[in-house]
Chains A and B, each alone.
Chain A
């Protein structure tokens, strides 16, 4: 399936009820992302970045507004349908890695393909783990890995289903400089290799500037949409 806009948001609004009062955390946000582009969402804490990422990834539904991912309108989909869509087209990298503690590194990476019902997925998972430099740590459990290693496993898991779009939430937020650089290189490198669209939430301006476009959020509103000088990913 070919769609021009991998992600398209129109007047997205999200309201929660806190202490019995409605609290608007996202207010009429509209934007779209083309296939293969990279985009960073930045802003201070509480500006609505993570809420926006969660909505875009179909992890939550907006209170109003519409959202389509890979051409599929998410608003009316059931949670299970959205899960299926994520499994087919979406990859995730989280700040706190979110590996399954009871699975080895290899098993963690295999899960998305296993969920698709694919057979013989171990070779591909091993290849990806090799690619992220964890050839010798495949059978280790998350608690036996360092933070940087865990994030690399998470990267391999995110890319194993060749996602059309990758959502990353502060992917270097929990890492030291050295590991952060390593992860950033991997993220953008693999992104280029697989021609994935990248949507990234970060506080780190340096990281944000590596993307083609920056959305600046404040108080739940999109206040700025900037293009950076980064060239288009190689196709």
Chain B
């Protein structure tokens, strides 16, 4: 024995400059296109999601920057709840061009069908818009409207009530022929038309409708066009004292730009986080496919190690493959993202207030490319590092298991895998805290999904009936096949199911909130703006229609002028207090009564009845506003009631269930105070069927055109249509996660295909027919789809309960049929994939397999 150690003198060479590893990477990749494509597919979906939303956001921000004036329609808009004072009007008119607008809620009667509806009535005057376009169909409709007694209306409203040009509608006391429909208007479009469809008339015709009465809630706007941005500044400075004096507010282009930009940024952040989820799923897909790939390569690596390859050389061969394909996948993903970017504005045009132009966003493209490269390296590193430690002894003993080696590379890879999503989430949300919270949330969701999936599998394995037919048992056993990635697939597909099911449940809960029109004896129709002389008539009309008069509530409008001894003006200029300006300046609609309504509960103080005219006036306040105004029991307030000051004190604080039996009020006065103040009335009733509702609404509009009516059934359908639009976007993004899950599933299927074929050959050898094999495979994928969907749905029930109870603060309601449909949809998808794979499995002749095996 030579008793010394000779130091091996290996020629060191940087691995990536070793032509052999590149050659081997190429030779090996030739045969693994399908498997490696799946790795790319996971990456492509994730990168495409991120790039599409990032590029869309860049385009949107650019469009907002370019089109801000078109969105506002003017350089400056001044708003008031009263008609503009002559003094103010003269000052502005002397330096700039003016257009006017009055906006109010009103009923409209569509005379062709007899239907009525509450709409937003917009009365326009002058050359509005100064910027952007107001397009109508026919094109001259707007001009025609301005010339006299004509109306134009939102396209969606016209199509919903089957109104065409030439038809007549009745607004208030007046009939208006319809001149056309509005297809585009500055500041319009998007959700505005869904929530409050508008009818436009000339301002000069507003008085003829008789809608401008005492108590009518009308918002006046003055659109101002100045010579330049500087002139706008000068004008604002000039009119500032008058703005304060009359309590007018204003909106500039810059403010609108910022508001919109901020609004879109918030939406973008929300959606980019969903894109982030898709990317993380993509990462999981990458890690999963590379993991399977690396395991499959174990034998080959062992041979290479046997004939002299170093661990790093073997690692580099596969690393090159993954990295190069990662770059290709990133490029495809980034360009696909740009493609999807073009698709989004088409899909969601109802949602956007302007046309979004397509701008090629190089930053998004580069970001996607770099991100993809990073993801492919990071998430493949861990499974690939295992290649370095494949023991060459495996060539002699296939079952030889090496010990887990905790190399530095492995540690660094794990660290980076944790840091990457955290950093990316922080980048997406532009905040470390939000990013970290989101990261923690996602990690929790994935862990929870993983936990549910594990429990489900464990229970199924344990409790699956041993006496079940062979094909059912065998299909179940297949789920536990090595490398099947069952749990991973359940998490990935389950996440998609989770998002969709949660959205559905929240939607159902919200709808059921409004659906108190159900069986309970609650009002579903509210009439407001009833003038005192009309009160008896309206009640009589209700009685004639056999409708219950559930409530008749007086309403007095007023404003705050003092709070706790300080004037509202001084409180507004005091920046040290925490009282919101809007709470100080808003118009309050109050009522008076000596008892609590059924939707209220007194949580502090007591109700004071006024016994004589000399007592202090004690009012109760709602819980939320008591916080906003920062008042406590006994504090004093002075209300300006139509020019008459009235000092009151806080007697109690009420908790109000706002959605229950409206109207509900922030301030409730005792009786004996406001009876003689100018007031209007609100009545509520319950109408059981739509026909009766239509009949009553028609009679009401004909007799009392100024009285507006809210049909809660209509509100319900509005919420539904809002959810349809929102849901489309969220479902679109949830689809990314389902697609990623299916990509991973396809990967697992391809990787297990040979094992499956071999197994089926064996089954056929012992007498199984094609029918059995088909059944086993389809049942296996049905199980997989079922378990994955259940994983998501089970968790979504918990998630939506939390969301509805603590975030939306509404009653939790589940629509089981919808959830079953989601489960069935996912089961069908997985079964379809299984069936596609099955065809080759069944068609492959056993001999070919036996040959392949050798």
Interface residues of A in 75-134 (CB under 8 A from B): 76-77, 79-81, 83-88, 92, 94, 98-103, 107, 111-112, 114-117
- Least CB distance from B306 to A in Å reads 6
Residue pair B308, A115 in contact (C-beta under 8 Å): yes
Residue ID in chain B nearest A145 by CB atoms: B854
Cβ–Cβ contact B2 & A84, under 8 A: no
With A87-B307, A98-B303 in contact, is A54–B1 under 8 Å at CB? no
* Cross-chain contact B10 with A81 (CB below 8 angstroms): yes
A73 touches B5 (CB 8 A): yes
Whether A81 contacts B20 by the Cβ 8 Å rule is no
Measured between beta carbons, the chain A residues less than 8 angstroms from B31 are 101-102
Evaluate whether A66 and B300 lie within 8 angstroms (CB atoms) in the complex, with A114-B20, A117-B13, A169-B396 already known: no
Give the distance in Å from the alpha carbon of A59 to the alpha carbon of B11 in the complex.
21
Q: Is B445 an interface residue (CB 8 A)?
A: no
Verify if A143 is at the interface (C-beta below 8 Å from B): yes
Map CB proximity to B onto A135-148 as digits: 1 under 8 Å, 0 otherwise.
00000000100010
Q: Is the CB of A72 within 8 A of B396?
A: no
B308 and A84 within 8 A (CB): yes
Complex Cα distance, B27 from A209, in Å, reads: 41
B1 x A10 contact (CB < 8 A):
yes
Q: Which chain B residues border A60 with CB–CB below 8 Å?
A: 391, 393
Say yes or no: is A19 at the interface (Cβ < 8 Å to chain B): no
Label chain A's interface by main secondary structure. mixed
Asked if B23 is an interface residue, CB under 8 A from chain A, the answer is yes
- Write the nearest CB–CB distance from B287 to chain A, whole angstroms: 23
The total of Cβ contacts below 8 Å across the A-B interface reads 115
Smallest CB separation, A190 vs chain B (Å): 17
The distance from the CB of B126 to the nearest CB of chain A, in whole angstroms, is 77
Cross-chain contact A59 with B395 (CB below 8 angstroms) = yes
Q: In angstroms, how far is the closest chain A Cβ from the Cβ of B385? A: 14
Instruction: Assess whether B310 is interfacial by the CB under 8 Å rule.
Output: yes
Q: Once the chains bind, are B306 and A86 in contact (CB under 8 Å)?
A: yes
- Cβ 8 A contact of A102, one of B11, B20, B27, B306: B27
B816 at interface by CB-CB < 8 Å: no
Chain A residue at smallest Cβ distance from B301: A100
Using known A-B contacts A10-B1, A76-B5, A102-B32, determine if residue A115 contacts B395 with beta carbons closer than 8 Å: no
B contact residues around A59 at 8 Å (CB):
306, 391-393, 395-396
Question: CB distance A87 to B308 under 8 Å?
Answer: yes
Q: Give B9 Cβ to nearest chain A Cβ, in Å.
A: 9
- Residue in A87, A88, A94, A100 with the greatest tally of chain B CB atoms within 10 Å: A100
B1 near A114 (CB under 8 angstroms)? no
Digitize B32-47: 1 where CB-to-A-CB distance is under 8 Å, 0 elsewhere: 1000000000000000
Cβ contact of A115, chosen from B309, B391, B854, cutoff 8 A: B309
Q: Is B397 an interface residue (CB 8 A)?
A: yes
A147 and chain B: residue at smallest CB distance: B854
The smallest C-beta distance from A91 to any residue of chain B, in angstroms, reads 8
In the complex, are the beta carbons of A112 and B307 less than 8 A apart?
yes
**Option from A57, A76, A84 in Cβ contact (under 8 Å) with B10:** A84
Residue of A nearest to B312 (CB): A80
In the complex, A53 has a CB within 8 A of chain B: yes
Q: Does A27 reach chain B (CB closer than 8 Å)?
A: no
Q: Is the CB of A8 within 8 A of B1?
A: yes
Listed residue (A5, A98, A99) with the most chain B CB atoms within 10 angstroms of its CB: A98
Is A157 on the interface with B (CB-CB < 8 A)?
Answer: yes
A68 within 8 A of B: yes
Q: Return A180 CB to nearest CB of chain B, in Å.
A: 15
Give A86 to B10 CA distance when docked, in angstroms: 12
Does A50 count as interface, using CB distance less than 8 angstroms?
yes
A85-B8, A101-B31, A102-B27 known; A94-B307 Cβ under 8 A: no
Interface string of B279-317 (1 = CB under 8 A from A): 000000000000000000001101111111111110000
User: Which of A72, A98, A102 meets B30, CB within 8 Å?
Assistant: A102
Using Cβ atoms and an 8 Å threshold, which residues of chain A touch B309?
A: 83, 87, 115
Q: Which of B308, B392, B393, B852 has the most CB of A within 10 A?
A: B308
**A147: B residues at CB distance < 8 A:** 854
- Max chain A CB contacts within 10 Å: which of B4, B13, B310, B851? B310
* Residue B766 CB within 8 A of the other chain: no
A128 to B: closest C-beta gap in Å? 14
Q: Which of A8, A86, A94, A107 contacts B308 (CB 8 A)?
A: A86
Chain A: interface residue total (CB-CB under 8 A): 46
Q: Quick check: B11 and A77 within 8 Å, CB to CB? A: no
A83, B391: Cβ atoms closer than 8 Å: no
Q: Which of A38-66 contact B (CB under 8 A)?
A: 50, 53-54, 57, 59-60, 66
Cβ contact within 8 Å between B5 and A107: no
In the assembled complex, the Cα of A103 lies from the Cα of B297 at a distance in Å of 13
Asked if B8 contacts A143 (CB within 8 A), the reply is no
Q: A59-B393, A60-B391, A73-B4 are in contact. Are A84 and B310 (CB under 8 A)?
A: yes
Whether A173 is near chain B, meaning CB under 8 Å from some CB there, is no
- Chain B contacts for A53, CB-based, 8 A: 396
Which of A50, A71, A157 meets B396, CB within 8 Å?
A50
CA–CA, A93 and B208, complex, Å:
104
Nearest Cβ in chain A — how far from B465, in angstroms? 32
Q: Which of B1, B4, B395 contacts A98 (CB 8 A)?
A: B395
Chain A residues with Cβ below 8 Å from B396 are 50, 53-54, 59, 94, 169
- Give bound CA distance, A56 to B66, whole Å: 77
Chain B nearest Cβ from A152, distance in angstroms: 15
Residue B6 CB within 8 A of the other chain? yes
Q: How far is the CB of B411 from chain A (nearest CB, A)?
A: 19
Which residues from B are CB-within-8-Å of A57? 306
Write the nearest CB–CB distance from B30 to chain A, whole angstroms: 7
A181 to chain B, nearest CB (A): 19
CA gap between A111 and B28 in the complex, in Å = 13
Whole-angstrom distance between the Cβ of A138 and the nearest chain B Cβ:
14
Question: B226: shortest Cβ distance to chain A, in Å?
Answer: 73
Inter-subunit contact B307/A92 (CB<8 Å): yes
Nearest-neighbour CB distance to chain A for B584, whole angstroms, equals: 76
What's the nearest-Cβ distance from chain B to residue A26, in Å?
13
CA distance A102 to B296 in the complex (A): 12
Chain B residues, CB < 8 A from A80: 10, 310-312
Q: Do A71 and B6 have beta carbons less than 8 Å apart?
A: yes
Residue from the list B2, B8, B23, B299 in contact with A68, Cβ < 8 A: B2
Closest to B20 in A: A114
Please measure, in the bound complex, the distance between the C-alpha atom of A215 and the C-alpha atom of B10, giving whole angstroms. Answer: 34
Contact of A157 with B307 at beta-carbon distance under 8 Å, contacts A59-B393, A66-B1 already known: yes
Q: Which residues of B contact A85 (CB under 8 A)?
A: 8
> Once the chains bind, are A3 and B32 in contact (CB under 8 Å)?
no
* Pair B8/A98 contact, Cβ less than 8 Å: no
Chain A residues contacting B303 (CB-CB under 8 Å) are 98-100
| B306 surroundings in chain A (CB, below 8 A) | 57, 59, 83, 86, 92, 98
Structural contact, B307 and A8, CB atoms closer than 8 A: no
> For residue B310, which residue of chain A has the nearest CB?
A80
A100 and B308 contact, Cβ closer than 8 Å, known pairs A114-B23, A147-B854? no
CA distance A115 to B308 in the complex (A): 7
Chain A residues within 8 Å of B391, by CB:
59-60, 79
A54 and B304 alpha carbons, distance in the complex (Å): 15
- In the assembled complex, the CB of B625 is this many whole angstroms from the nearest CB of chain A, namely 70
A76 proximity list for chain B (CB < 8 A): 5
Task: Provide the B469-492 mask, 1 if CB < 8 A to any CB of A, else 0.
Answer: 000000000000000000000000
B27: A residues at CB distance < 8 A: 102-103, 107
- A54–B6 touching, CB < 8 Å: no
Q: What B residues does A116 contact at CB under 8 A?
A: 308
Query: What are 11 A-B pairs with beta-carbon distances under 8 A?
Result: A71-B6, A72-B6, A73-B6, A81-B8, A81-B10, A83-B305, A98-B306, A100-B304, A114-B20, A115-B308, A147-B854
7 new A-B contacts, CB < 8 A, other than A59-B396, A77-B8, are: A60-B391, A71-B6, A83-B311, A84-B308, A101-B300, A115-B307, A143-B852
B interface list, Cβ under 8 A from A = 1-6, 8, 10-11, 13, 18, 20, 23-24, 27-28, 30-32, 299-300, 302-313, 391-393, 395-397, 851-852, 854
Q: Which 4 A-B pairs have the closest CB atoms?
A: A87-B308, A80-B310, A102-B31, A81-B8
